Amino acid sequence: MPEGPEIRRAADRVAAVLEGRVAEDVFFAFDRLAHRADELRGRTVTRVETRGKAMLTWFDDDLAVYTHNQLYGRWFVRKRAGFPKTGRSLRFAVHTDAGAALLYSASEIEVLDRAGLRAHPFLAKLGPDPLDRATTARVIRVQLERFRRRRLGALYLDQAFLAGVGNYLRSEILFEAGVHPDRRPMDLSPDERASLARATNLIVRRAYQTGGVTTEAARVRDLEAAGQPRRAYRHYVFGRAGRACRRCGETIEKTEAAGRRLYLCPSCQAA
């Protein structure tokens, strides 16, 4: 499932062809939404925003199309007429004079007004989004105190804690902070909580800027220069079970938390 950084990057591409432009055509694949296409056609798209893993495409009548990619959804952006060659099913599309934003394979699509957004069962429970400038390290420390009794391995998948953080980000954040996933916020010292909050913003924002690479830039440059492929340098620990930790040389381990695979260094993240 794409995580917050991937959805934000998709939103950037969608905004490039939609924002400030008139929707010349709107398409919904679902019968329950077909009548809303007529309502939105001819309206101006005012902005495209993300809330964690969800995207909101706003129109000038103060309506928003809510979309969530889940596991299989994928956005395609076209700057000329035509559709991509794919075996996926088109579910939602907006066409403007600058191009088209096409969402394939997603099933969570709704048209909502502001009251509907406030009452939406997914959006209403979302915690702060680390990609928002307002989500400072202090905000994350407050969240850690709020969820102080939860084990970090499970907590970092809870969208009520932080919006947009998913499986690969969880492993990378906990490694960057040097904390074991079985620990709880209440078990951490003030310095450790501060380090974890900083690591959260650092890793999530780096993933957005780099398209999913969480390793620091200097190390990426060295590994690229050595001829290593992207999969070899993309992450510190995620997907690297059995390989050497980039920092201490210990062997990366694979475990499970909250029903999802998790990777850690037993030396850098001692229990």
125 catalytic residue (yes or no): no
Nearest residue to 57 (alpha-carbon basis) of 12, 91, 5:
12
Catalytic pick among 9, 51, 53, 141:
53
Work out the pLDDT band at 5, boundaries 50, 70, 90.
Answer: very high
260 catalytic residue (yes or no): yes
Mean per-residue pLDDT, 16-38:
97
Query: Which pLDDT tens digit goes with each residue over 135-165?
Result: 999 999 999 999 999 999 999 999 999 999 9
Work out the pLDDT band at 167, boundaries 50, 70, 90.
Answer: very high
Catalytic pick among 118, 138, 243, 260:
260
- CATH fold group of domain 4-125: N-terminal domain of MutM-like DNA repair proteins (3.20.190)
Mean per-residue pLDDT, 191-200:
98
Catalytic pick among 3, 6, 172, 176:
3
Nearest residue to 45 (alpha-carbon basis) of 27, 57, 33:
57
Which residues, 6 or more positions from 174, have their beta carbon under 8 angstroms from its beta carbon?
152, 153, 156, 180, 181, 196, 199, 264, 269
Catalytic pick among 2, 5, 128, 130:
2
Work out the pLDDT band at 125, boundaries 50, 70, 90.
Answer: very high
Average pLDDT, the chain: 96
> What are the boundaries of each domain within the chain?
4-125, 137-264
2 catalytic residue (yes or no): yes
Mean per-residue pLDDT, 56-75:
96
Residue/partner pairs of 97-100 with CB below 8 Å, 24 or more apart: 97/21, 97/22, 97/24, 98/16, 98/17, 98/18, 98/21, 99/16, 99/17, 100/17
Class in CATH terms, 137-264: mainly alpha
